[in-house]
Structure 1
Amino acid sequence: MKNIVIIGCGQGIGLEAAKILADNNNIIGISRTENEIVNSLGIEFHKFDIISDELSSITFPDHIDGLVYAPGSINLKPFNRLTTEDFRNDFEINVIGAVKAIQYFLPFLKKSGNSSVVLFSSVAAKLGMPFHASISASKSAVEGLTKSLAAELSSHKIRVNAIAPSLTDTHLASQLLSTAEKRDSSARRHPLQRIGSAVEMAEMAEFLLSDKASWITGQIIGIDGGMGNTKL
């Protein structure tokens, strides 16, 4: 049984990952969001803000085999309406939070001898998409962090990979999918003619945490309905 920390397990992809992994692993969930679903999973849960709170206030197992950093943001505006604070907030959520978590858990991950870190990017880091300047900048930083840490931490048998979804049916994307017309329009932008599900992203996270992915590191794995590499 692996010890796995999931940051952002209160909703969306992080929650689905907790559901999938809870049966066969010891899950320590961390999230600003607490709800009945999280509490029903039987996992160790801590209501916690990774940006402002100190992880040292929580007692963790001696070693950590997997770390999932799932918080994210969607802040779509024309570039001239984005403020420096918008960029700063997206960078804090997507990058600084991940850095803080990985730095704190690094001694625990080293003790595992075979650990895995899973981060989240976006198809917008690969494609030029209008109104995505802030999120694209921060998620591009996540991809750079993923590749750099994969190289640096490989000697400690720590694997680092990132999943890069396109639009996924989560609470975070609810305003973009709030009507049948919006859902249909978003689906038709993808070669596979549908939007992604949080379960699909969580299943990839499960794979990357498993021993089946023991020779995979430094990868940005697009789960995007073909949008990242296929032209309609």
Structure 2
Amino acid sequence: MRNYFVVGASSGIGKALSIVLADSGNSVYGTYNKTPVPQETGNIKYYPLDVMDDTLNLEFLPEKLDGIAYCPGAITLKPFERIKSTELISDFQLQVIGAVKLLQAAMPRLRNGNNPSVVLFSTVAVQTGLPYHAVVSVSKGAVEGLTRALAAEYAPKIRVNCIAPSLTDTPLASSLLNNEQKRDSANQRHPLKRIGIPEDIAYIAEFLLSEKSGWITGQVIHVDGGFSTVKL
């Protein structure tokens, strides 16, 4: 049994990942912030945490962590000329600064882990240019750079990888999928003719966190229904 810390475990991909990890017999320490307090089930325990706080209290964690997944995210889509600097800063603070602070605070516990692993999250829009995605591409591009830098700095003890999904059916993406026309259009843009579901991403994250991926680090894994590489 391994100890996993899932930041943003109460919704979307983080929620699905927590369930997958717990169902495999692992202990999961999950956090929530703006969502309602989740009901603890099985091997999952939930704790309030705002990654935007100046200081992070992680005393609820065990002294040994075998893996961390940083799942908080945001989707700000708008024309480039309408982007405000405050929107860029806010997105960067959540997606990049929050991850940096969290990993710095948890690193002593991660060093105590058994073949420890970190999973971060990017987006298909970083390496595939998409209109109106400048805000998210700036912050997630930094996440991809952070992934490779940390993989180099902490090798061979700690592995660090990143998942870059395409559009996934989560509450975060609800405004993009709020009618059948939008949903069908999104499905048709993917070679596999459907958008992702949280479990599609969670199963890959589980693999990257586990010892089964022991020879993988510094990678950005695209889980996107073929969107970034296949043109039909």
User: Superposed, which structure 2 residues align to 1:171-182 within 5 Å?
Assistant: 171-182=171-182
Aligned partners of 2:26 and 2:43 also within 8 Å:
no
More helix by proportion, 1 or 2? 1
Q: CA deviation at 1:57?
A: 5.3
Deviation at 1:56, TM superposition (A): 2.6
Classify 1:139/1:161 alpha carbon distance in 2 versus 1 (closer, same or farther; 3 Å). same
Per-residue CA deviations over 1:25-76 (Å, capped at 9, x if unaligned) read 1111112045475433552211111111633353321111000000111000
Distance in 2, matches of 1:166 and 1:138, equals: 16
Inter-CA distance 37–72: structure 2 relative to 1 (3 Å threshold): same
**Residue 121 of structure 1 aligns with which residue?**
122
Corresponding residue of 1:134: 135
| Residue 99 (structure 1) aligns with | 100
Q: Which residue of 2 aligns with 1:214?
A: 214
C-alpha spacing 1:200/1:167, structure 2 compared with 1 (3 Å): same
Pairing 1:185–2:175 present: no
How far apart in 2 are the matches of 1:142 and 1:173? 20
- 1:186: how far off? 0.6
Relative to structure 2, which stretch is displaced further, 25-34 or 203-212? Answer: 25-34
Q: For residue 182 of structure 1, give the secondary structure of its aligned residue in structure 2.
A: helix
The residue that corresponds to 1:18 in the other structure is 18
- Give RMSD over aligned pairs: 1.4
% identical aligned pairs: 48
| 1:192 Cα deviation after fit | 1.1
Question: Which residue number corresponds to residue 203 of structure 1?
Answer: 203
Helix, strand or coil at the partner of 2:215: coil
Q: Check if 1:166 corresponds to 2:166.
A: yes
Q: Structure 2: which amino acid aligns with 1:143?
A: E
Quote the offset at 1:126 in angstroms.
0.6
Q: Distance in 2 between matches of 1:128 and 1:17?
A: 28
Q: SS state of the match for residue 191, structure 1?
A: coil
SS state of the match for residue 175, structure 1? Answer: helix
Asked if the contact 2:164/2:223 (under 8 Å) is kept, the reply is yes
Corresponding residue for 1:3? Answer: 3
- CA shift, 1:22, in A, is 1.3
Q: Is the 8 A contact 2:58 2:105 kept in 1?
A: no
Task: Tell me which residue corresponds to 2:53.
Answer: 52
Cα distance in 2, alignment partners of residues 4 and 198 from structure 1: 18
What is the DSSP-based 3-state SS (H/G/I as helix, E as strand, rest coil) of the residue aligned with 1:4?
strand
Q: Cα distance 1:152–1:57, how it changes in 2: closer, same or farther (>3 A)? A: closer
CA distance in 1, matches of 2:45, 2:85: 37
Distance 1:39 1:113, change over 3 A: closer
Distance 2:179 2:53 in 1: 35
1:84 partner amino acid:
S
Q: Which amino acid aligns with 2:165?
A: P
Aligned residues: 231
Instruction: Give the TM-score of the pair, scaled to structure 1.
Output: 0.95
